[in-house]
Structure 1
């Protein structure tokens, strides 16, 4: 028997969901593709229905909702769980290298980038939230987050009332707008098997809006496309773990293993840059996850970006992962690592599907 101090415990970072059901079908996928696509708000009336749910009074309570947290599970208890083998505005520019490939980051039309924020949504009759980020794309309208922050694999059902709020204020403020989800693009093994090797989603969003007070109530005011307003992170694919360093970001809020709550979910946090390595957890169907240690993120940070080459002055970097699982590798009182799915060529296929969609021209 392995001593307790050496047990490795993994939990999803960001609704007690996710078992491993049989695959139930593809909503929109080419025969040779691994992309599973699910529509969210398709029409103007759909957008207004979602917007009407997230009125200012509800958004003021948003930080009191639950950070989405699929049920915890033990990882392997042997050392195999350790390292293993607007007009005129810029648009995304594709770059390619011999092994890696990706998309360059893009600044907003005005000011400094503000790409990171939160997604709010419902599963059933309960509200949840996660972390997320805006990604550079030709449609200027893509958000990256964890798969479990957009789709419930147990019920084979997407989240309801899904919105992205970049740069959220501590009391429900939405200084850079509210963006209603139009469509989720993900890997079929997330939707069908809850395979944490593919716990990522790229959500195409509609044009943003803000609530404006009028005649004793509120009306929606269109504010334009996401990327134009806040910029977009780049994307980097097929990097070899250990050959680069990343910084992880998110809005952690949940309790640590010892019950303490050092984070309040209202402040964007950063785990300092570290080299990554592969990690394996068969109990989570995780064979090629990438681990960052040390990092004490807790629930709420799910879906937050992993960035290469983050420039603090421009607040831009290149996306190479998203927070998926948090780890208590030494079985002590605090989480000490976080892992992401490995971003490879298939991830690029999922991203390109999200980046190629068009949305309705006006949300008001």
Structure 2
């Protein structure tokens, strides 16, 4: 019997967080005010600008008011299935992207071995938080939730701050920024690092630009299921001058507040990794082990994904019971729990039921290669106004 696979996606109207590490995704409405899509780097990158001016930033911030965020975090999770294009079988009708084949230009990478070219692969060093107070339970401050809309529906995912020259960069799953099936990008995109039961200890960061590999946006190729999102300076909601009103108070740049994870590509498999996220969605049998209110983690050694479908041809896997909502959460190698930083080497993408007991027991990530770094580098050059 073929293993079942479910994309870790979450719907805010029925909030979803995947298992110990939640992978959720959401995309914004195409044609929304202030959005502009451009393709760069010889067609290998899709960059989508969400905010053109301060009015756009305020529009998105106002949408995610304290009352809205409170309602969102109390919603019940719902994780639609992805219908595989191969022999795998989804357990319900899909409303998320349905990949149909291998993207052109990706074949050489996918048929290659999981190499570890350390001498030639770029490395981005992590940046520990500037303030040295201990992190809660040694959990990374960089990890949090993203909330967004695709069309008229609200969703949430997991994500992490990444070290960058612009000090404003977030890494997440590609399906947490773009829906290739509907050809729609996420809008009203915000990131809340250190999210804990509705609290926003390090501020709220409005998305400026979504940056993805074109093989994902054009082909729905989940071997490129990652995104790097440039964000604006953060803010917190403070009580306004009248009752039941709030005003934005700036808290500065993302990296200055929480630090940033490093980045490594082409590292092979067999590495010790910590995967983080906010799982919340139920298993296939309907049981719901997580509520998505707290950051959770899995750890172990990575191994090569052996997928029964063409959804993932060059992925890496980790034994883990995360469910939907963990999508986009980071996979960190060489993790230092005292400082809460390591090197990003993957993101939560899929949850799998490999023993067909209707409970998820494996998660997978796209294998980070040179083109992953190219998308990161392009995103790092984006500057919020």
Q: Which residue of 2 aligns with 1:220?
A: 248
Confirm whether residue 118 of structure 1 aligns to residue 145 of structure 2.
yes
Aligned equivalent of 1:101? 122
Q: CA offsets, 1:67-107, max 9 Å, x none?
A: 574533356369xxxxx95xxxxxxxxxx941432201101
- Partner SS for 2:223: helix
Greater relative CO (CA pairs within 8 A, separation 6+): 2
1:310 pairs with 2:335: yes
| Equivalent pairs, count | 329
**Take 1:124 and 1:62, find their aligned partners in 2: how far apart are those partners?**
17
> Which of 298, 314, 322 is 2:347 aligned to?
322
- Pair 1:137 & 2:132 matched: no
- Structure 2 counterpart of 1:56: 66
Distance 1:249 1:142 in 2: 18
Q: Secondary structure at the match of 2:306?
A: strand
Tell me, yes or no, if structure 1 residue 147 matches structure 2 residue 174. yes
In the other structure, the counterpart of 1:275 is 302
1:14·1:69 contact (CA, 8 Å) conserved in 2?
A: yes
What SS class does the counterpart of residue 191 from structure 1 fall into?
Answer: helix
Give RMSD over aligned pairs.
Answer: 2.3
- For the Cα contact (< 8 Å) 1:13–1:68, is it kept in 2? no
1:35 alignment partner in structure 2: 45
> Measured at CA, do residues 224 and 68 of structure 1 come closer, stay the same or move farther in structure 2, by a change above 3 Å?
farther
With over 3 angstroms needed to count, the CA separation of the structure-2 counterparts of 1:128 and 1:68, relative to structure 1, is farther
Query: In the alignment, does 2:202 pair up with 1:181?
Result: no
Counterpart CA distance in 2 for 1:348 and 1:150 is: 18
The 3 A distance-change label for structure 1 pair 70 and 322 is farther
Q: Is the 8 A contact 1:303 1:322 kept in 2?
A: yes
Q: Deviations over 1:176-197 (max 9, x none)?
A: 0000000000000111121110
What per-residue deviation string (whole Å, max 9, x for no partner) do you get for residues 306-362 of structure 1? Answer: 0101111111111000000111111113111111011110000100111111112xx
Looking at secondary structure, tell me which structure has more strand per residue. Answer: 1
Q: CA deviation at 1:15?
A: 5.7
Partner-residue secondary structure (3-state), 2:167: coil
Distance 1:70 1:77, change over 3 A: closer
Q: Distance in 2 between matches of 1:173 and 1:15?
A: 19
Q: Give distance in 2, aligned partners of 1:67 and 1:145.
A: 19
Matches within 5 A, 1:1-364: 4=1, 7-14=2-9, 27-30=37-40, 32-65=42-75, 69-74=79-84, 76=87, 97-111=118-132, 112=135, 114-170=141-197, 172-216=198-242, 217-242=245-270, 244-284=271-311, 286-292=312-318, 294-360=319-385
- Return the TM-score normalized by structure 2: 0.80
